[in-house]
Amino acid sequence: MQRSIIAPAERVTNLRWGIALILAFGVLINYIDRGALSVASKPLHDELGMGPEQFGFLSSAFFAVYAFSQIPIGYILDRYGVTVISRVGAFLWSVAAACTALAPNFVTIYLARLFLGLAEAPTFPANAKAVGYWFPRNERGLATSLFDAAAKLSNAIGVAFTAYLLVWFGWRGMFWSTAALSLVFFVLFYLFYRNPSRDKRLTHAEAQFIRDGGGEPETAPGQKPRGASLLYLIAQPKIWGLTIGFAAYGYLFAFLLTWLPTYLQTTFGVNILKAGGYVFLIWGVGTLTDLIVGGWLVDYLIKRGADANRVRKTVLIVGLVMGFAVIGAAYTKDINVAVAWITIAVAGISFHAPVGWSIPALIAPTESTGQVGGIMNFLNNVAGFFAPTITGFIVAQTGSFNIALITAAAILIVGILSYTFVLGRIEKIPDPVRIGA
């Protein structure tokens, strides 16, 4: 008889929360890598002569490959598992950042950003899948918000952190530093992450607690998944309701991720360090609302007996409605007022995001969470690709960010309608009927 590798202790420990923190640390580093380019916009302009349109295309390069990798990455994750794919991806992040540091011109930096998009493509679908393995359904809100809030925290501390690296070491030294950070995460993930069935630290009691709470069953590595086909999934209205709604969030998020420091510098004439301070405030608030509202409050209300579907859909919609506040920044010349409006918008979309990321594991047919997460993140990052490009074009033509801010807000209307009328109840999509099964 095969010996269980699960520790025999009968106490429900908190190993699963340690796993969530590892995933969160990876997202933190991941987003520092992504956002570093926005800090380097001025030296890239000075050294390589990049204007707003070129910088917009450069910012979009990451999202181009990242987006179109999502659907195949979902299938690969369902077949080969979180552990192997996330290890490979984490190692390649550091290589991509090093390639950026070495790049001599616009074309090579563009190629390095494409490479970074491919390397980081598994991150969020893999994390959503890992949370499904490691957490009961009534804890997934907070577990998901930990790694999603890390993206917001990265934007808060990452701009200030990379701005100081830029000042001290130049833009190339800044990218060498992010490459080193990515390598640190690779080592930590390699040493400490395992799926529940392979983790010797997991007690019987905690494993049973996860299973009894609706933990997702694991797919054996290399086993062809018996999940739903792509055609079956894209025929489901729930998939479209989730995907379109989340893409509306993705446009505004990508716009702020790639252009916020430059917007503050060019519109209000502040230097990169002062802009970094404002960015820290904006995304710091977003980090808190992500954890408190999108994570703790959602789980608390559901545990207290509130209807889970109503709680999650309310948070999704209210978050996008608060995103409209970004319009206020288009009608002021006071940086403090603009920052206040943007902070309200970021607070809303931040607590919206972890709820969105918890849904693939809640609605996916059996062994299809990776694919559902990939489909959702595909359109999210298509929106992310267009956001910096369209913004760069608008700024180049008008000399202002006002229309760009209004455009990002208007797209949220589509997301609200999609969540309201297309998503339906947040519940599992039936497994496809298999002939001869």
Mean pLDDT of the chain: 85
CA distance readout (Å), 126 to 132, 240, 363: 10, 20, 16
Confidence class for position 123, pLDDT limits 50, 70, 90: confident
Residue 434 belongs to a domain: no
Biggest CA–CA distance in the chain, Å, is 73
Residue 3 belongs to a domain: no
Confidence class for position 434, pLDDT limits 50, 70, 90: low
Residue 73 near residue 125 (C-beta atoms within 8 A): yes
Distance CA 375, CA 9 (A): 39
pLDDT of residue 3: 39
Range of the domain at 362: 15-193+201-210+226-421
Residue 86 belongs to a domain: yes
Neighbours of 197 (CB within 10 A): 14
Residue 369 near residue 132 (C-beta atoms within 8 A): yes
- The DSSP call for residue 325 is G
Residue 92 near residue 167 (C-beta atoms within 8 A): no
Per residue in 378-414, pLDDT (tens digit) is 888 888 888 888 988 898 888 889 999 999 999 999 9
What length does the chain have?
437
pLDDT of residue 4: 47
Instruction: Write the CATH number for 127.
Output: 1.20.1250.20
Residue 215 belongs to a domain: no
Residue 10 belongs to a domain: no
Q: Which residue has the tokens 């010797």?
A: 200
pLDDT of residue 225: 58
pLDDT of residue 160: 76
- pTM to 2 decimal places: 0.77
Residue 216 belongs to a domain: no
Q: Please give the distance of CA 286 from its chain centroid, rounded to a whole number.
A: 13
Distance CA 336, CA 11 (A): 51
Residue 221 belongs to a domain: no
Residue 218 belongs to a domain: no
Q: What is the number of domains present in the chain? A: 1
Distance CA 129, CA 159 (A): 29
For residue 62, which of 29, 34, 90 has the smallest C-alpha distance? Answer: 34
Per residue in 81-116, pLDDT (tens digit) is 888 899 998 899 889 888 888 878 888 888 888 888
420, with CB counted inside 10 A (0-12, 13-18, 19+), is middle
